[in-house]
Structure 1
Amino acid sequence: MDLGSAQRSVLELLGAVSPGDLPALLDWMRTTRDFDEFIQDNNDIILRNIAEDLRNCLPLETMLSSEQVAIQKIKQQPQPIIHIDAFLYDDDFIDSLCEKGKMSRNYCMVCGSYQTAPLGFISHSFSALELKFIYQHVLPDLSGKVLIDVGSRLGPVLFVGYLYSSALQLHGVEMNQDFCQLQEMIIAKYKFADRIKVHHANICTQASLLQNADVVIMNNVFEYFLDRSEQASWGPAVSLYSQSDVIQGLLDLRFASS
């Protein structure tokens, strides 16, 4: 159906609606999100497909048995918290899981009672929306630039950067081999290898990579993933950033300097 035919069909459909219901229908058409899948650009569709691919490879909490440091630190928190990867599960997705009984936003403070409290939610990844904002409004033009994501995990910084920036090269440095393999799976499937490269390494061993970086992304790389001795080794690595580097991250430098 071409545009003209589609427009005529919509007008005919609206003309068939009872006058009393027409205002409510028009208001629904203005406010509903049911049309989102028809107006999102192709890059958003690719990101949704990537998230689905990764969800199919991981448990709901997106934590792996090989992440012992992170698992132990989550267990040590004074209040119950749940790890949900923000790139894989946005708020609407979490709401749908709660409605299906697969997840809860609350926990019972006294077993069997109505006395409940909100569960804490943490994510070790930026959401797709956050990353699009960073690339489109926070970072400068990345044409000809090299970006490094420290602790690239599932690769969302790299994938969104590929689709929404003109960065020449996007490097992910990840210590966990399982996550490196998942990133490589996505890179191969979506043909991102011309600009994305994943390094299975500790960033402290990547001096030449850091020295050539224009932008370094760090998202909570200290608190949950390194023990104290490893945190202390970050001082020399941080000193490798040149003064022209842009460092964008959510991190607590107390863990690196204490």
Structure 2
Amino acid sequence: MPPRTRKPPTDAPSSRRTAGRSARGGLSATQALLTVLAEYVAPQSSGVWQETLVQALGALGHSPAAVRQAISRSTKEGALTTARHGNRAYVELSEDALATLRQGERAMSEEPGPESWNGEWDVFVVRSRGKDQASAYQLRTSMLLRGLGYLGNGVWLSPHARLKEEIVRALSSEPGVDVVVLRSHIEHPEASAVVERAWDLDAIVGSYKQLLTRFGNHDPQNDEQRFLAWTELAHAWRDCVMTDPQLPADVLRAHWPRERASALVAERRGQWRPAAQAYFGALVGDDSRT
């Protein structure tokens, strides 16, 4: 039987909530739910009481109705299941969702080491047949999430040879999709110019700078505020990690901001995360979280 929920700590959130965007920050209820599950639930277990999520997302500014709606949406999408225990509900991550969140947590906490690169690119020429607009968009999104750059007309780029087999397997499993893979050097124009065309570097830099500006001088004063601050920073950092294609330094702009952002996150992780986890642990009745 899942553990019962204790009352929230003495610095619990006030009763004012919003149904959409956070009253205290910038996360929607769905974004807040994903981040709370990834940061506080998935590392330790696969499930949590629904009222614990209501309390936790309440601290982030969301009404109980908005939280339940976000849980219901995620349940319909197959990421969560809910089970009734009397008048209470226990929310559990699906096996795939749990694995995805744990993999994402590893990617967020581990700084990638230097990868040797000989200046060659994997070029994926992708052709799809009979794809409707929604399916084509989903395929394109999948490619972008794997860190590939798009040159147009079905031509994608990656400098990461270690990802080639994974990408080919994923594309080959798509019905109606053909892929040809080439290995090539960029001779004209400069590789950095091609990178600027294939990846939206302005958006990536913007995300890093926003993180640095927002959290660089922030100083939360109690555990509830540290819970709010760390949860929002974890979400912002996850966005940066997911959208940064980890391109070789040779083709990036000068003063690429990932290293500065990573150093800030590491510092704030030590300063804020223990208190944030203790705050959430009090909600679920487990003060032993570390």
Give the TM-score normalised by the residue count of structure 2: 0.23
Say which structure, 1 or 2, has more relative contact order (CA 8 Å, 6+ apart): 2
The answer to which structure has the higher helix fraction is 2
Give the TM-score normalised by the residue count of structure 1: 0.25
Larger Rg: 1 or 2?
Answer: 1
